[in-house]
């Protein structure tokens, strides 16, 4: 190593030290921003794309779009999602899978978003509710289909043979209203 290379390396080291001190000096004079959480919950800004917890998307009638295909369960890298399905018979006699239970373990979720991306019906999304602190791990396991499942219209009975006509049932008596007496009710029927 020559004497020239020695002094060039000392100069480069000193130059990098000055650049680092310049960044530190700028941060020394910039105004500080301190979040006063939880006192500032009302004006707290949470980014729209923040992934906090998984939830179903329900419409105004209380229906969700999940068809129990299981693609979110298969694509979850650490088996955070567990789906229980049941078979139901449709009015036309065909069988169909329906969602029975959709559980989500928030404690083991990596918030990767693969489940939301692969959902063919866009039935799930991440919410912005970041306050999920609990005292036990069991409370981190959540059931996403928390609203009771709305049954479809009852299936009509298959028409095999025409039934014999039934005798007409006698008309039920109309209860008396507050302004009528039993005598007036009988007279109206005659």
Domain segments of the chain as ranges: 53-143
pLDDT given for residue 173 in this prediction: 47
Residue 148: per-residue pLDDT: 65
Task: Give the SS3 label for residue 31.
Answer: coil
Scan for tokens 């998984």, then name that residue.
54
What pLDDT is attached to residue 43? 84
Divide the 190 residues of the chain into consecutive groups of 10 and give the mean pLDDT of each group.
Answer: 90 94 90 84 85 90 88 93 91 88 92 93 90 91 79 42 49 47 48
CATH architecture, domain defined by 53-143:
2-Layer Sandwich (3.30)
Whether the pTM exceeds 0.75: the reply is no
Distance (Å, whole) CA 120 – CA 97: 15
Question: In the prediction, which pLDDT does 40 show?
Answer: 86
Q: What is the pLDDT of residue 166?
A: 54
Q: How much is the pLDDT for 9?
A: 94
* b (16+ CB within 10 A) / e for 144-164: bbeeeeeeeeeeeeeeeeeee
Strands (DSSP E) contained in 80-174 are 81-89, 95-105, 124-127, 141-143
């Amino acid at each position: 190593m020559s004497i020239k290379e020695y002094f060039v390396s000392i100069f480069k080291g000193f130059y990098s030290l000055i650049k680092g001190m310049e960044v530190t000096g700028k941060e020394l004079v910039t105004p500080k921003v301190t979040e006063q959480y939880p006192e500032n919950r009302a004006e707290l800004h949470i980014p729209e794309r923040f992934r906090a917890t998984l939830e179903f998307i329900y419409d105004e009638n209380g229906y969700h779009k999940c068809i129990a295909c299981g693609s979110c369960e298969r694509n979850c890298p650490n088996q955070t999602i567990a789906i229980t399905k049941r078979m139901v018979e449709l009015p036309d006699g065909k069988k169909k899978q329906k969602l029975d239970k959709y559980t989500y373990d928030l404690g083991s979720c990596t918030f990767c978003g693969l489940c939301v991306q692969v959902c063919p019906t866009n039935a799930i999304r991440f919410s912005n509710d970041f306050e999920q602190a609990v005292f036990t791990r069991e409370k981190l396991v959540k059931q996403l289909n928390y609203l009771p499942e709305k049954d479809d219209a009852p299936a009509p009975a298959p028409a095999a043979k025409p039934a014999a006509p039934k005798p007409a049932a006698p008309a039920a008596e109309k209860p008396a209203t507050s302004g009528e007496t039993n005598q007036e009710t009988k007279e109206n029927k005659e």
